[in-house]
Structure 1
Amino acid sequence: MRGYALVLVATVLWSTLGPLTRTLLQNFSLPAISIAFLRAALASSLTFVALALTRRDLLRMPANAASHVLALGIVGIGGFYAALAKGIEVAGIALLAVLTYMAPVWVTVVGAVALNEPLNSRKVVALALSLTGCALASKVYDIDAMIVSLPGIAIGLAASVGYAAFAIFSKTLSGKCDPRAMLMYAYGIGAIVLLPFQSSDLARALQPAAWPLLAAIAIGPTLGAWGLFSLSLRFVPVSNAAIVTSLDVVFSNLAAFLLYRELLDFPQMIGGALILAAVALLQLEPPNHPTT
């Protein structure tokens, strides 16, 4: 249960990303790709400062983890964030959300083939419930909100692959290097990947009032969420953890209701119930021994 509790808290933190990003988009007119870049750059910088002051020994990356951290930074952060930012423009939030939540499928397949994680009927049913729930909670039935095109579908699937890579590499790195060092280097690499997509006048366009929100994004749904998620992978299979993170859409919808008074449609409520059922079903699996 400890591992699932960690994933749950991480998911709650991830769900705060939507309201914070929405405020930056609406009040400060920052492009989504710039928010992604600043999020990664701040997360890496803050971690570097913290380690330089407290644990300088962790600034050295273990040789056996370097290639995985590089792949995590390029694909799981840089590629994932870029696909999300572009996907909002090309595919729309509804279709992008549905395609991105395909990630647990890729994670489950890779987990079973490459990581020898168990794949049983209970997990398959939980995965199906989660995917159906995410589709309903993301309002896949709202045709007006869907921008269906081949580029949009391709970018959405790319985002799901990036999300899956984020989870898989976090698992393979679990126990190989300290999560704080992994955070610093991976987000630094991700920021470098995103740098060429930034406007030359980004520094001038940034308003001082935007920095507290950017810092909140870097600390909460970035460093905090990923740190807890990485720690959870020592106790639960990565495929199970990926399914639990589907609760993000439930918490995000709840936040939209509380903050913006956005009412949920009945199908969205059904979708949320299906995701909760998927997570509950995973709790019936035999206990998994911690992995290091």
Structure 2
Amino acid sequence: MGSMSPATTTTHAPPRGVASGYSVIGADRATGICTGYSPDMPAGHFRFTPGRGMALVAVAALLWSTTGVVSRVLFEQTEISPLMVAFIRLAVAAPLFTAIGLLHQGRGFLRLPPATGHWLLLLGLAQAGFQVGYLSSVEKIGAGLATLIALCLAPVLVALLGTLLLGEALTRRVLTALALAIAGTALLVISPQAMDIGEGLWAGVGYGLFAAGVYAAFTLISRHAADHVHPMQSAALGFGVGALVMVPALSMEGLAPLIETAALTVPALAYLALIPTTLGYVCFFSGLRHTTATISSILVLLEPLGAALLAWALLGEALGPFGLLGAIMLTVAVMGLTVPGFARRLLG
């Protein structure tokens, strides 16, 4: 794909299943697309190196896991809003994705196939909704709890929406995963540690559920563009549209919170835009060319689990016994949907 060097050669196309569909989690954080092998790229420039792919996807997930923790620090120590953090994250990353795409694909990067523009517009709107919902949840209930709710529920909602809207089969596996996800979320929310949050708990949970729902819809929308649009195109345009739709609301907020605490906000926002966003997605897209959708689905679980661990270690956000059990149930639900062998053994 665009972020990979074309120097290596082979005469074979990628192995069957390599980045050919998409992982219902992780991949869709940026574009919803796990098509690391672009239809515009010749198969003669590909070498399948699984170890490299797994390492890159794992690095991406771990970088993403820092987003909630850094954002939580900003919310606790400054007056900056989730809207401002989301806007800067997208506004800085969008031109960087465009520059990377132009560097590797030339002017062809700016050409879109017919009938894809409206899908990319919807992806941008969903991207904005997810970012604001997720970061608002982080502000209210903390990085660990918000990330577990928003990211682990989303794949289950994808399966449910696929059944309701697309006529996909409602299998025992989907029903079991849904039950586990609901029970796991309930345990997270009713744990004594969560109850100690106070009046912001239910608002934060609501924002997390909203983010999960938008993420799920985002995933389904992206399927219409996945076969025609390069992942970096989708990221650049989706992030750009997402930033633009925030401008009217942001204009009413002003820049005072950003300027008053610039010593903290500027480096923190620069980190969020450059490291977990830009570098994280480049690592992820690159890694997808060298690993299967199943493996990538497992590796991106490092994000919510890493976020929960970092939140505990750095911010003192302990989940407690109920919360830990809930996190395990959410993880099992996701793996049951994304890992075929795991599903057959545990979820029927």
Shared fold by TM > 0.5?
A: yes
What is the distance in 2 between the residues matched to 1:263 and 1:129? 21
Q: Name 1:128's counterpart in structure 2.
A: 179
1:126-205 map, 5 Å: 126-137=177-188, 142-145=194-197, 147=199, 157-198=209-250, 199-201=253-255, 204-205=259-260
Q: Name 2:339's counterpart in structure 1.
A: 283
1:51-90 map, 5 Å: 51-56=101-106, 57-74=108-125, 76-86=126-136
What is the distance in 2 between the residues matched to 1:136 and 1:249? 16
Alpha carbons of 1:283 and 1:151: their partners in 2 closer, same or farther (altered >3 Å)?
A: closer
Alpha carbons of 1:49 and 1:148: their partners in 2 closer, same or farther (altered >3 Å)?
A: closer
What is the distance in 2 between the residues matched to 1:180 and 1:153? 31
> CA contact under 8 A between 1:73 and 1:186: conserved in structure 2?
yes
What is the distance in 2 between the residues matched to 1:230 and 1:170? 19
What is the distance in 1 between the residues matched to 2:286 and 2:160? 19
> SS at the partner of 2:229?
coil
Larger Rg: 2
Q: Name 1:39's counterpart in structure 2.
A: 89
Alpha carbons of 1:19 and 1:82: their partners in 2 closer, same or farther (altered >3 Å)?
A: closer
> SS at the partner of 1:63?
coil
What is the distance in 2 between the residues matched to 1:152 and 1:273? 21
Per-residue deviation, residues 129-153 of structure 1 (Å, max 9, x unmatched): 2343344345555334254899877
Instruction: Note the C-alpha offset of 1:125.
Output: 1.7
Per-residue deviation, residues 186-221 of structure 1 (Å, max 9, x unmatched): 100000111122233356447265444323322443
Residues 255-264 or 277-286, more deviating? 277-286
Alpha carbons of 1:205 and 1:258: their partners in 2 closer, same or farther (altered >3 Å)?
A: same
> CA contact under 8 A between 2:72 and 2:138: conserved in structure 1?
no
What is the distance in 2 between the residues matched to 1:275 and 1:170? 24
- Aligned CA RMSD, in angstroms, stands at 4.1
Q: Name 1:104's counterpart in structure 2.
A: 155
Matched, 1:259 2:314: yes
1:191-230 map, 5 Å: 191-198=243-250, 199-201=253-255, 204-205=259-260, 207=262, 210-223=265-278, 228=284
> SS at the partner of 1:176?
coil
Report the TM-score, using the length of structure 2 for normalisation. 0.64
> SS at the partner of 1:173?
coil
Q: Percent of counterpart pairs with the same letter?
A: 28
Instruction: Note the C-alpha offset of 1:27.
Output: 4.3
What is the distance in 2 between the residues matched to 1:115 and 1:235? 25
**Where does structure 1 lack aligned partners over 5 or more consecutive residues?**
288-292
Instruction: Note the C-alpha offset of 1:17.
Output: 0.9
**Where does structure 2 lack aligned partners over 5 or more consecutive residues?**
1-16, 24-53, 344-348
> SS at the partner of 1:271?
helix
> CA contact under 8 A between 2:121 and 2:238: conserved in structure 1?
yes
Report the TM-score, using the length of structure 1 for normalisation. 0.74
> CA contact under 8 A between 1:11 and 1:247: conserved in structure 2?
yes
Number of residue equivalences? 282
Q: Of Structure 1 and Structure 2, which has the larger fraction of its residues in helix?
A: 1
What is the distance in 1 between the residues matched to 2:90 and 2:319? 32
Alpha carbons of 1:27 and 1:60: their partners in 2 closer, same or farther (altered >3 Å)?
A: farther
Q: Name 1:290's counterpart in structure 2.
A: none
Alpha carbons of 1:24 and 1:271: their partners in 2 closer, same or farther (altered >3 Å)?
A: same
Residues 109-118 or 19-28, more deviating? 109-118
Alpha carbons of 1:164 and 1:276: their partners in 2 closer, same or farther (altered >3 Å)?
A: closer
Q: Name 1:23's counterpart in structure 2.
A: 73
Alpha carbons of 1:143 and 1:7: their partners in 2 closer, same or farther (altered >3 Å)?
A: same
Alpha carbons of 1:171 and 1:208: their partners in 2 closer, same or farther (altered >3 Å)?
A: farther
> CA contact under 8 A between 2:93 and 2:278: conserved in structure 1?
yes
Residues 4-13 or 36-45, more deviating? 4-13
